[in-house]
């Protein structure tokens, strides 16, 4: 058996977007991932599904595995021929004990590579709007462990040099020793009036920052119940936060938002919400599956005689084109027909496959199509409607009333996802959720069905709907709709939530 290799990869300080491209490359080829406590779960999803994932995290005062056993584990897995990624928070060589792990690998003759990560020492202050250096007030900084045992006879920290040397001092892992750290700095010459900040859960949606003077920061942190992971920053650049704070000033910062749309489609909505500061929880209520292929085959067979092809969702576009490709066909088969899309997301899905739509209604709903369709001359035309298997019949009836001959094809199936009602109940009653988003009538129906007798708990949260059809479904089920997108798109839904909270805080 050939020997494997170990990659020590810095995952960054918490925000999964801060891992390097090289770090992702290593994760995506890993056989084994050995990871720490503060690793975002979404990074583990980057590893192959079959990869073995081993947790070796450390809480304050508790280690799931001693460091010596972690070292032995890395050696053992590499000797078995595995490609091992040791995924570490921050940077492996900045108080990450990466040096000890690579020493063990080198001693065992194991090949390894280091993939540096963004250390929390600079990233967390940056996310709090505190630069560690600034041309006017700070030309140097020091990064110090705050985890040193205060009961040791001698300290490895040169307190005399540290207190009066660097302009900015960053202590990592220092919450437990905060009073000792601040008193040592003051005793060795740092002014008690020096600005200081504590940042907890840095670069994540739970980030929280407090500022005070060096002499007061320990008491203020205790009064706020500050716990790890937190860092302490001491220096004049802390005062710049009042002007430079950005991360926690975003419009949805601190809001906890639940997504109910299919997991495969959560990406755009999730990304937009996170960009605006929200903490996102995934709870897909439906799953999209291909419909009976004979349905789409029947549509393909009549395309030459079809005047209009209407797509009512991006799901329908994907299902239709996937089937085309399986049959060795592509978008050229639509050259006989005009193509309509219910909205910009559906039109964009078509554009990615080389099809420019001839028609998008001004309002992205069934009613919007029917209002605008009269201008398109569908009377006497043959229309192919590609949609979900559970779609309502209003569009069909409306097109027929406009004089069209309509063939309906179920391009995909919408299947409910089952959830334990007690889990959903706990999520809602524990105040972990501020907003529940619904992007289709089927997500509403299945969410309420999953909650069962606990459906009244939805009255505790804000309900945000993508449009009137979804809102109507919610209201029929006894829900209160607080937010409805003016434009029935993902971007429109996010904008509506932002507008709601901006009005609340006027």
| Structural tokens at position 9 | 């990869």
| Cβ 200 vs Cβ 208: under 8 Å | yes
| Cβ 227 vs Cβ 200: under 8 Å | yes
Q: What are phi and psi of 265, to 5 degrees?
A: -110, 5
Q: How many CA atoms lie within 13 Å of 323's alpha carbon, on the beta-carbon side?
A: 23
Question: Of 36, 40, 91, 434, which is the active-site residue?
Answer: 36
Max CA distance (Å), the chain: 94
DSSP run (H or E) holding 6 = strand 5-10
Give dist(CA 10, CA 86) in Å, integer. 8
Question: Of 173, 256, 338, 445, which is the active-site residue?
Answer: 173
Q: Where are the alpha helices (DSSP H) in 80-177?
A: 98-107, 120-127, 159-164
Question: Of 58, 76, 263, 425, which is the active-site residue?
Answer: 58
Q: How many CA atoms lie within 13 Å of 362's alpha carbon, on the beta-carbon side?
A: 5
- Is 58 one of the catalytic residues? yes
| Nearest alpha-carbon partner for 35 in 82, 80, 74, 79 | 74
Query: How many helices and strands in the chain, by DSSP H and E?
Result: 19, 22
| Nearest alpha-carbon partner for 324 in 297, 344, 285 | 297
Which residues have CB under 8 Å from 302's CB, separation 6+? 382, 384, 407
Neighbours of 235 (CB within 10 A): 28
Give dist(CA 226, CA 383) in Å, integer. 63
| Catalytically active residues, by annotation | 36, 58, 173
């Amino acid at each position: 058996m050939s020997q494997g290799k170990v990659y020590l990869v810095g995952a960054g300080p918490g925000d999964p977007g801060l891992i390097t491209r090289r770090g992702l490359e290593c994760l995506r080829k890993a056989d084994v991932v050995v990871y720490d406590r503060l690793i975002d779960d979404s990074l583990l999803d980057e590893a192959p599904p079959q990869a073995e994932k081993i947790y070796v995290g450390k809480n304050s005062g508790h280690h799931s595995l001693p460091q010596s056993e972690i070292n032995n584990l890395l050696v053992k897995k590499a000797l078995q021929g595995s490609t091992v990624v040791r995924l570490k928070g921050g940077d492996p060589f900045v108080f990450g004990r990466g040096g000890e792990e690579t020493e063990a690998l080198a001693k065992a003759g194991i090949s390894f590579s280091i993939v540096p990560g963004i250390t929390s020492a600079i990233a967390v202050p940056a996310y709090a709007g505190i630069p560690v250096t600034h041309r006017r007030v700070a030309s140097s900084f020091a990064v110090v462990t705050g985890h040193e045992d205060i009961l040791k006879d001698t300290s490895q920290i040169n307190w005399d040099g540290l207190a009066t040397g660097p302009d900015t001092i960053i202590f990592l892992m220092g919450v437990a020793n905060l009073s000792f750290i601040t008193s040592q700095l003051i005793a060795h010459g740092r002014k008690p009036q020096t600005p200081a900040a504590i940042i907890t859960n840095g670069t994540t949606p739970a980030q929280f920052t407090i500022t005070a003077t060096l002499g007061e920061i320990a008491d203020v942190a205790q009064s706020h119940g500050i716990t790890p992971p937190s860092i302490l920053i001491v220096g004049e650049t802390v005062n710049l936060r009042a002007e430079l704070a950005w991360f926690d000033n975003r419009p949805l910062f601190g809001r906890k938002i639940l997504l109910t749309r299919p997991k495969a489609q959560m990406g755009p909505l999730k990304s937009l919400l996170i960009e605006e500061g929200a903490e996102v929880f995934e709870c897909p209520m439906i799953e999209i599956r291909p419909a009976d292929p004979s349905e789409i085959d029947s549509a393909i067979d009549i395309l030459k005689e079809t005047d209009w092809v209407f797509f009512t969702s991006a799901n329908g576009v994907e299902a239709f084109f996937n089937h085309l490709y399986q049959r060795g066909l592509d978008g050229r088969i639509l050259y006989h027909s005009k193509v309509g899309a219910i909205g910009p997301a559906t039109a964009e899905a078509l554009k990615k496959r080389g099809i420019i739509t001839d028609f998008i209604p001004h309002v992205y709903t069934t009613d919007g199509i029917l209002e605008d369709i009269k201008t398109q001359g569908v009377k006497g035309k043959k229309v192919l409607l590609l949609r979900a298997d559970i779609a309502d019949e209003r569009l069909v009836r409306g097109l027929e009333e406009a004089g069209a001959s309509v063939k309906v094809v179920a391009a995909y199936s919408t299947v409910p996802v089952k959830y334990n009602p007690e889990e959903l109940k706990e999520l809602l009653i524990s105040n972990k959720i501020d907003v529940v988003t619904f992007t289709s009538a089927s997500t509403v129906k299945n969410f309420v069905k999953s909650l069962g007798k606990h459906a009244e708990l939805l009255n505790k949260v804000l309900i945000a709907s993508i449009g009137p059809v979804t809102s109507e479904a919610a209201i029929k089920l006894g829900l209160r709709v607080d937010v409805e997108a003016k434009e029935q798109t993902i971007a429109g839904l996010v904008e509506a939530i932002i507008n709601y909270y901006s009005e609340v805080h006027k």
